[in-house]
Amino acid sequence: MGRPTKSEPRKQQLNLSLTASEFERVRLRAEAVGMRTVHYGRAMVLNDGHRTALKTDADHNATKLLYAQLVRLGNNLNQLVRHLHRHGGPLPADLEPLLRDIRHLIIRNRPR
């Protein structure tokens, strides 16, 4: 059983010539928003140059990456504190404010 037919199949082509550096810029932009290059190009052409929807996707991806890094950093710091508590080492004076700042950033940048 094959793929269902689309109500309006794409039969027309628009061939566009780019230099290697132009193509690389487009490819990197598509990758940044999690799209295939061809789909990104179609969206840019048909979107009258408005990048609002694509920018939102890129912002969301950046927020997810930032959140993941903050969570990893927080986990590492919590392991350090646990180790210090277990072995009786003194806590560095600037550790608690740092942990508080990281917790605040994690809560503020949590992906929706």
Instruction: Give the list of residues 6+ apart from residue 2 with CB closer than 8 angstroms, or none.
Output: none
Residues 76 and 107 occupy one common structural domain: yes
Q: Which pLDDT score is estimated for 81?
A: 79
Domain interval for residue 105: 53-112
2, part of any domain: no
The reported pTM is 0.42
Nearest in space to 28 (alpha carbons), one of 15, 16, 47, 41: 41
111, part of any domain: yes
Residues 19 and 46 occupy one common structural domain: yes
98, part of any domain: yes
Q: Which pLDDT score is estimated for 42?
A: 86
Low-confidence residues of the chain, pLDDT below 70? 1-3, 48-60, 109, 111-112
Q: Which pLDDT score is estimated for 59?
A: 66
b/e map 68-93, b = 16+ CB within 10 Å: eebeeebeeeeeebeeeeeeeeeeee
Q: Which pLDDT score is estimated for 54?
A: 57
**Among positive and negative, which fits the CA dihedral 77, 78, 80, 85?**
positive
pLDDT in tens, 32-48: 877 889 888 888 888 75
Q: Which pLDDT score is estimated for 2?
A: 67
Q: How many domains does the chain have?
A: 2
Residues 57 and 112 occupy one common structural domain: yes
4, part of any domain: no
